[in-house]
Chain A
């Protein structure tokens, strides 16, 4: 229990020491650290996207009483890899009238936004690429750059359906970001910090979803709904409503550029789920129940990154479950739901949460 699997905060100093011994020059060491972290993140993000696509297809299949991919590898495990290779080998078409520079930039923008945001997620103690005191705000801001990518794609395609899809994406994400942010702030007032590490540390006594009476759960649900909308997933996937807009903003994209939108979309799901897990469900904190010493010890047997991935995966599965259950909303229903229901509700939650937090009326204060 004292090795690096459970005490991950030992890893970064060890790596630094090893690199210092290897390179000597502190500037070189810093550069090497950046390279290592970037490579690890890139590998993680790619593997994650492949895995998520496979899981999504399997969940969809079983919800619809099918089997899903079964041919490539055991239970179709290598199907996404095969699909990825196929996508890469396809012709990369740019429409004649497209705005070439923006058209080529948009998928990179989309992917870079999710990739950068991943750097702020604390997977385990000290396993976080970048940490600074307003990490949560930064991640929310970077999330909007992804929308910029979608909008750029729709605009540059020079296709009316793409543009309509992109405009819907813009309208939808601007609206739902309000609720998502307000729901997160409702918990931030309890945690008292925008730093991911401190948010997690504040949940050592219990997760905010239940420690903040009622408002914690309400905020969790609001953030769940709003983040599904932010990911442009069913029931809020008007951005790419096939029956109305063929494929929305990525109609004109093929080959690896399409794959980048696709990967960004799936990594985004993981991203919002990990933010939700970190803020509401205690991140990498194990589940501890009061003074049940035996249970707490058992919970400690699972390493912190195990807890983080368990919570995030559970949320991702709920996302997929929701996606394959509900039909798509209409545009006006979408807007009515946000502006007439979700936003007032999240404002109320924030007001109640502020009162509770300042009065100290939550479980295990101090």
Chain B
């Protein structure tokens, strides 16, 4: 390719690039940043954002899917999860008696979610996690209403 050919290719590339930026510039609806404190009500979070771990329920029965197998506890690199289990006298199987989450130690790595065989865990979307006391960050996740409760009794 001679000089003219190369020049033409270069100009074509440059104009193509400028077309892309012009497209972004004129389409204001494409803006992906958000005005955070003002739009707390309508905040859009990315689905893969890793916030606090939460327990998932079975959509049909409404019960927590967790079988208290403790794989997540073993997977956790900094010991932020603890599972209490007890034997069901009727079925003679283990069931969940308390799912404790030390959020103050959690690094939000997501290894617990990756290891869970029953899809019982997920990373939440909350990010306003600052607290004045360490104690309120130790949570029990398997509460009846699904909202994590501070659990000072956690192991």
B30 touches A65 (CB 8 A): yes
**Cβ of A67 under 8 Å from chain B:** yes
A63 touches B21 (CB 8 A): yes
A67 touches B35 (CB 8 A): yes
Query: Taking the nearest CB of chain B, how far is it from the CB of A238, in angstroms?
Result: 18
Query: Taking the nearest CB of chain A, how far is it from the CB of B39, in angstroms?
Result: 11
A62 touches B24 (CB 8 A): yes
Interface residues of B in 21-37 (CB under 8 A from A): 21-22, 24-25, 28, 30-33, 35
**Cβ of A173 under 8 Å from chain B:** no
- Extra 20 A-B pairs, beta carbons < 8 Å, given A325-B14, A325-B17: A59-B25, A62-B24, A63-B21, A63-B25, A64-B24, A65-B24, A65-B32, A65-B33, A66-B31, A66-B32, A66-B33, A67-B35, A321-B18, A321-B21, A321-B22, A321-B25, A325-B18, A325-B20, A326-B14, A341-B7
Query: Taking the nearest CB of chain B, how far is it from the CB of A26, in angstroms?
Result: 53
User: C-beta contact mask, A326-364 vs B, less than 8 Å → 1, else 0?
Assistant: 100000000000000100000000000000000000000
**Cβ of A82 under 8 Å from chain B:** no
In the complex, what residues of A have CB within 8 A of residue B21's CB? 63, 321, 324-325
Closest residue of chain B to A325 (Cβ to Cβ) is B21
Interface residues of A in 58-99 (CB under 8 A from B): 59, 62-67, 70
Interface residues of A in 281-336 (CB under 8 A from B): 321-322, 324-326
CA distance A64 to B7 in the complex (A): 27
CA distance A82 to B24 in the complex (A): 28
Q: Which of A59, A63, A341: most chain B CB closer than 10 A?
A: A63
CA distance A67 to B28 in the complex (A): 9
CA distance A341 to B21 in the complex (A): 26
Closest residue of chain A to B30 (Cβ to Cβ) is A65
In the complex, what residues of A have CB within 8 A of residue B18's CB? 321-322, 325
In the complex, what residues of A have CB within 8 A of residue B33's CB? 65-67
With A325-B18, A326-B14: A67-B31 Cβ-Cβ less than 8 Å: yes
Query: Taking the nearest CB of chain B, how far is it from the CB of A226, in angstroms?
Result: 16
- Residues of A near any B CB (own CB < 8 A): 59, 62-67, 70, 321-322, 324-326, 341
In the complex, what residues of A have CB within 8 A of residue B17's CB? 325-326
In the complex, what residues of B have CB within 8 A of residue A325's CB? 14, 17-18, 20-21
B22 touches A70 (CB 8 A): no
In the complex, what residues of A have CB within 8 A of residue B7's CB? 341
Query: Taking the nearest CB of chain B, how far is it from the CB of A313, in angstroms?
Result: 15
CA distance A63 to B32 in the complex (A): 11
Query: Taking the nearest CB of chain A, how far is it from the CB of B6, in angstroms?
Result: 10
A70 touches B35 (CB 8 A): yes
In the complex, what residues of B have CB within 8 A of residue A322's CB? 18
B24 touches A63 (CB 8 A): yes
CA distance A67 to B14 in the complex (A): 25
CA distance A341 to B6 in the complex (A): 12
A62 touches B25 (CB 8 A): yes
In the complex, what residues of A have CB within 8 A of residue B35's CB? 67, 70
In the complex, what residues of A have CB within 8 A of residue B24's CB? 62-65
Q: Which of B7, B25, B30: most chain A CB closer than 10 A?
A: B25
In the complex, what residues of B have CB within 8 A of residue A65's CB? 24, 30-33
CA distance A324 to B18 in the complex (A): 9
In the complex, what residues of B have CB within 8 A of residue A62's CB? 24-25, 28, 31
Query: Taking the nearest CB of chain A, how far is it from the CB of B148, in angstroms?
Result: 33
19 interchain pairs (CB within 8 A)? A59-B25, A62-B25, A62-B28, A62-B31, A63-B21, A63-B24, A65-B32, A65-B33, A66-B33, A67-B33, A67-B35, A321-B18, A321-B25, A322-B18, A325-B18, A325-B20, A325-B21, A326-B14, A326-B17
Closest residue of chain B to A317 (Cβ to Cβ) is B25
Closest residue of chain B to A58 (Cβ to Cβ) is B25
Query: Taking the nearest CB of chain B, how far is it from the CB of A218, in angstroms?
Result: 12
